[in-house]
Amino acid sequence: MENVTGDPQLDIVAQRWPDITLAEAADVLSRLRHPLRALELLTRSGRPTAAGVMIRANEGDVFIKRYALSVRDAASILPYHGFVHHLAKRGISTPTFMPFADDLGGSAPGGPIWATDSALTIGGAVYEVCAKAEGDDRYIDALSWDPPRTVSEAEQLGAFMARMSMAAEGYDAPRPAAPNPFQNRFGLFATADFDAAVKAWLEERPVVRDYLKSTDRHLMQDLDLHRRYVEKVSGPYGALPSCWTHGDPHISNFLWQGDRPSSIFDFGLADRNTALFDLVETLERNTIRFVSIMNGDDDAYCADTAAAIIRGYNGVIPLSSSDLALVADMLPVCQSEAALNWIAYYVEGTHRPQDAAWCYDISLMGHTAWFARPSGQRYLDAIRMAA
């Protein structure tokens, strides 16, 4: 997306990676196990962590995404490709990833050319290809945290996410062991020994640790804001069964038919968490207008949309009052680990320190602080009472 408004809150999601060219797309498609010919570049998808393009090929439209190896590698991509295949086999409409030829070789600027199943590495980049998803891309221009247009869409979104969580059962791939800058995990802020966990987490992420030191951040002191929620969440969350989650269920990552999602895509933030985490993310992404809130409108939340999402989810997977209490306690810290983790991406991947500052000052601190203010408290009360 482009930040046509000039709002610094939206500059964080403006595309910065070089566009995929038609010639580049043609090269990638020629390396598939079943090669395709690129005929026409249809649309570009501006994403802050990758470059994406829809291509008309000789056998239909396909979507190509390119990550820089500084962001992620094939080992971190293939587990979520497997998750997508698992969901598709269990009736969730989502485009699966196409395999590349097994006998690739050669080299490109930055390194060799090689493929592992559905991930292709060429020099300093890794590619994935999937068919076009089915449905109406009505939210293609939606901004981060924009809500669905109708309560009916919100209710159907909740029901879809519950069905997807049920379909996720049985996919037992472990989460990638090595940290990378592009993950959405919930675990650090659900840990009983929180201080020890944070210190160990930072030791595994020296780029984040060094950024905090170089900018004179006082993380352990600043996290006093989060501790009240961690203390409530750590016990009950730890008792939940783990499963793979989408991690970014914003309306723009769905295609639609009528008032129902017809397909889900963009699993780049998928990881092993719990089913309840994806419900929390659905609420955070679609019912709290954080861009407006951080610009001074504290009441920019959508309680009716949140109630509808929960109502739809509850119709498929019943939610107890204790479930909703846990959802309410998770919401203020559901993005806190990701906010800290993405510092490494903005320091190493884009070399824009102002964006790393956004991760800390706005996403980590500002978003959580809102939940302690009167508007945030009213929102959380609405969540607890939703069912």
pLDDT in tens, 99-127: 999 877 787 777 889 999 999 999 999 99
Domain with CATH 3.90.1200.10 in the chain: 151-384
Burial class (CB in 10 A: 0-12, 13-18, 19+), 213: exposed
Residue 10: is its pLDDT beyond 80?
no
CA–CA separation, 28 and 35 (whole Å): 9
- In percent, how much of the chain has pLDDT > 90? 83
Q: What are phi and psi of 121, to 5 degrees?
A: -105, 125
Angle between helices 151-168 and 275-287 (to 10 degrees): 160
What DSSP string runs through 145-172? TPPPSSHHHHHHHHHHHHHHHHHHTT--
At 296-348, the pLDDT tens digits run 999 999 999 999 999 999 999 999 999 999 999 999 999 999 999 999 988 88
176 contact partners, CB below 8 Å, separation of at least 6: 75, 76, 79, 183
The pLDDT, as a whole number, for residue 6 is 52
| Helices and strands in the chain: count of H runs, count of E runs | 16, 11
pTM assigned to the model: 0.94
Nearest-CA neighbor of 375 among 307, 315, 294, 259? 294
CA–CA separation, 206 and 342 (whole Å): 13
CA–CA separation, 32 and 26 (whole Å): 10
At 169-179, the pLDDT tens digits run 999 999 888 88
- Residue ranges with strand state E in 12-135: 38-47, 50-57, 60-68, 107-108, 111-116, 119-122, 125-131
- Of 113-117, 127-131, 142-146, 293-297, the range with the lowest mean pLDDT is 142-146
Residue 350: is its pLDDT beyond 90?
no
Domain with CATH 3.30.200 in the chain: 8-84+95-131
Q: Which helix (H) or strand (E) holds 178?
A: none
The pLDDT, as a whole number, for residue 239 is 96
Residue 70: is its pLDDT beyond 90?
no
Nearest-CA neighbor of 294 among 5, 27, 8? 8
User: Torsion over CA of 220, 226, 232 and 235, rounded to 10 degrees?
Assistant: -50
Angle between helices 321-330 and 374-384 (to 10 degrees): 150
Residue 14: is its pLDDT beyond 70?
no
| CATH topology classification for 151-384 | Aminoglycoside 3'-phosphotransferase; Chain: A, domain 2 (3.90.1200)
- Going from the C-alpha of 276 to that of each of 108, 188, 281, 320, 379, the distances in angstroms are 43, 16, 9, 12, 18
Kindly report the CATH number that applies to the domain delimited by 8-84+95-131.
Answer: 3.30.200
The pLDDT, as a whole number, for residue 9 is 60
pLDDT mean over 17-25: 94
